[in-house]
Amino acid sequence: MRAVYWLMLAIPLAVGCGGGDGDKPDTGNEANADALSECGEQVIADSPENAFTDCFTGDFDWGACETCGYYSDVSLSQGAYDCITCPEGYEIEVAFGDCTGFCTPNGSSTATIKDSDCNPNTECVLD
């Protein structure tokens, strides 16, 4: 009886989980306005084909990316060093000339954007 009950709950959830408009695949660069900072939203708007929100999720050494890129495919931007913006409480430690890099806790970066001569694709990352 319990299995029937759970099945009755699971079927409507599974049917309703498709999401999207069905016409295009989820590329990982569709910004969730509630989850992104203003700068993260601007990064996605400025580079919709090369910046993504489906990014490196963090590990023992590095924080998760808020936005990542700049690549032609989201699967290429999964490294800890591919972050464009970081979640609140983290900052970029610059690794590349486009101002992408690692997310480190605020105040712990040894190569901040302000100290770098990198050229960002979106100006808000300089703030």
pLDDT in tens, 50-88: 999 999 999 999 999 999 999 999 999 999 999 999 999
pLDDT band at 35 (very low <50, low <70, confident <90, very high): confident
12 in any annotated domain: no
Look at 21-25, 68-72, 104-108, 109-113 and tell me which has the smallest mean pLDDT: 21-25
50 in any annotated domain: yes
Q: Which residues contact 96 (CB under 8 A, 6 or more apart)?
A: 81, 118
Do the Cβ atoms of 84 and 74 come closer than 8 Å? no
Average pLDDT over residues 38-42: 97
Number of structural domains (the chain) is 1
Average pLDDT over residues 32-57: 90
25 in any annotated domain: no
Q: Which strand (E) or helix (H) includes residue 12?
A: helix 2-15
pLDDT band at 32 (very low <50, low <70, confident <90, very high): very low
pLDDT band at 34 (very low <50, low <70, confident <90, very high): low
Question: How far, in Å, CA of 29 to CA of 2, rounded?
Answer: 40
14 in any annotated domain: no
Query: How many residues are present in the chain?
Result: 127
With a threshold of 0.75, does the pTM exceed it? no
Higher pLDDT, residue 19 or 72 = 72
pLDDT of residue 77: 95
Q: Which residue range forms the structural domain that includes residue 63?
A: 37-126
Q: Which strand (E) or helix (H) includes residue 7?
A: helix 2-15
Strands (E), the chain: 51-52, 67-69, 83-85, 90-94, 101-105
Question: How far, in Å, CA of 55 to CA of 121, rounded?
Answer: 18
104 in any annotated domain: yes
